Amino acid sequence: MLRSALSIGLVSATVLLGGVTLTASASAAPAPPAAGPGKPTPYPADSLRALGDRVGLRIGTAVNMDELGTNAEYTKITAEQFSSVTAENVMKWQLVEPTRGTYDWAAADELVAFAKKNKQLVRGHTLVWHSQLPTWLSSDGYTTTLSNSELKALLKKHVQDQVKHFKGDIWQWDVVNEAFDDEGKPRETVWYKAWGGLGYIADAFRWAREADPKALLFYNDYNLEFTGPKSNAVYDFVKTLQAQRVPIDGVGFQGHLATQYGFPDLQNNLQRFADLGLKVAETEVDVRTFTEPAPNVNTPTSPLAPYAQESYWSRALKACLAVPECISFTPWGFGDTYSWIPGWFTNPQEGAALLYDADLKPKSQYYVIQQDLALAAGAPRRAPGGPGRP
């Protein structure tokens, strides 16, 4: 199996790896992008997606639908570099049903069409969450004016309608997102309160399975990367779901990493969930670091930060490569300008978390990931040489 060829820690200065010449891939493909119908954008042999294909790993990205189809460079990179896409926002409840009873699938449908055209698989994100709910439902995810019975009927209809709408088009659904807090306690969201416990999760997975039997159904959360109260609680909870024959196929590790914390025992955690008979995936990877105040929120305060970031990116990818059940590796976007980090982590300021800079040029972190993938595919020895040979 190709994955076993992974050489952890191997460093090479050669430019020819696995028969692929590594270059700045952004400049390699001649075809202009197009978001509409038509031919797929060809992708270079040293793109992340092509290298991922060689080891059976989908390389994904979150997609910002304000840019796709309007920003030519952004659109080109999305098509060329990634074999899976996730809607960064447009499949969230707030966006698909801003007014009660009226769906707006336009942006999400556009992403699905783009993915089909470019032979990409789609991660559906996300059906059940306490965040980014429409204001008519709840403004904070924890309080609402709606009754418990209304909430129960609404969640059922939401899961059924959305999964049916995209039936056949979604590879992995994040059915439930972030149901536990950092102490490993269930979040007491509107859903938790309506059900009087975590029963909403089993129901949501069952409704999703019924609506699209072929989609892989995931529980998705952050900080599962670290062994600790949260990861342990989710691990135990997933086992109870399995004992009740709830149709769960996988667990998504968001992977929002930061250089201020030590690198997590990610591979162990991926492996122990995989050992339950589940698929796993890294679903929202970014590696933030301390940065200058606005307007330079993507300039690290330390010139050494990029070295730490390279190491975190590399280890995050290798953890997935080393666990055969890890089926996709998805950074949460690809240009620092479009990252959610600088807007979210402001005190102190953090940023510079992605593989491409604010000008959509690949950063050193990109080349590390590219090289790791090429090495994982099995770098051939250099042409035979030595004594006695020309």
Give me the active site residues, please.
178, 284
H or E element that contains 288: strand 279-290
Among 171, 273, 329, 340, binds ligand XIL (CB under 6 A): 340
Q: Residue 51: which of 116, 2, 112, 13 has the closest Cα?
A: 2
For ligand XIL, the closer of residues 43 and 345 by Cβ is: 345
Q: Is 254 in the site for ligand XIL (CB under 6 A)?
A: yes
CA–CA separation, 233 vs 251, rounded Å? 13
Closest CA to 173 of 130, 125, 117: 125
* Residue 86 one-letter amino acid: T
What residue has token string 């191997």? 10
Pattern 302-331, ligand XIL, x by CB under 6 A: ------------------------------
Residue in 373, 362, 364, 371 with CA at minimum distance from that of residue 306? 364
CB of residue 344 to ligand XIL, shortest distance in Å: 7
Minimum distance, C-beta of residue 77 to ligand XIL, in the bound complex (Å): 17
83 binds ligand XIL, rule: CB under 6 A: no
* Shortest Å distance, C-beta 355 to ligand XIL: 15
Interface with ligand XIL (CB under 6 A), residue total 6
The correct pick among 284, 336, 350, 372 for binding ligand XIL (CB under 6 A) is 284
Q: Which is nearer to ligand XIL, 18 or 342 (CB)?
A: 342
Sole binder of ligand XIL in the list 21, 23, 89, 160 (CB under 6 A): 89
Two tokens, residue 319: 């953890």
Minimum CB–partner distance for residue 172 and ligand XIL (Å)? 13
Of the pair 126, 370, the CB lying nearest ligand XIL is at 126
Q: Does 67 bind ligand XIL (CB under 6 A)?
A: no
Smallest distance from the beta carbon of 178 to ligand XIL, in angstroms?
6
Nearer to ligand XIL, 162 or 254 (CB): 254
Phi, psi of 362 (to 5 degrees): -65, 140
Query: The tokens of 116 are what?
Result: 């089909």
Nearer to ligand XIL, 173 or 340 (CB): 340
How far apart are the C-alpha atoms of 65 and 331, rounded to whole Å? 16
CA-CA distance, 387 to 165, in Å (whole number)? 66
Our CB check for ligand XIL shows the closer of 52 and 252 to be 252
Q: Which is nearer to ligand XIL, 22 or 112 (CB)?
A: 112
- Minimum separation from the CB atom of position 280 to ligand XIL (A): 16
Q: Which residue is nearest to ligand XIL (CB)?
A: 340
- State how beta strands 58-63 and 326-331 pair: parallel
Tokens, residue 131: 């965040």
What residue type is assigned to position 189 of the chain?
A: T
Q: How far is the CB of 340 from ligand XIL (least distance, A)?
A: 3
For the beta carbon of residue 141, count every other beta carbon within 10 angstroms. 18
Strand 256-258 with 16-17, pairing: unpaired
Q: What is the dihedral of CA 61, 64, 67, 72, to 10 degrees?
A: 10
Rule CB under 6 A: is residue 80 a binding residue for ligand XIL?
no
- Lay out the site mask for ligand XIL across 175-204 (x = CB under 6 A, - = otherwise): --x---------------------------
Other residues' Cβ atoms within 10 Å of the Cβ of residue 283: 30
Of 42, 21, 23, 53, the residue nearest 380 (C-alpha):
21
Give the interface with ligand XIL as residue ranges (CB under 6 A): 88-89, 177, 254, 284, 340
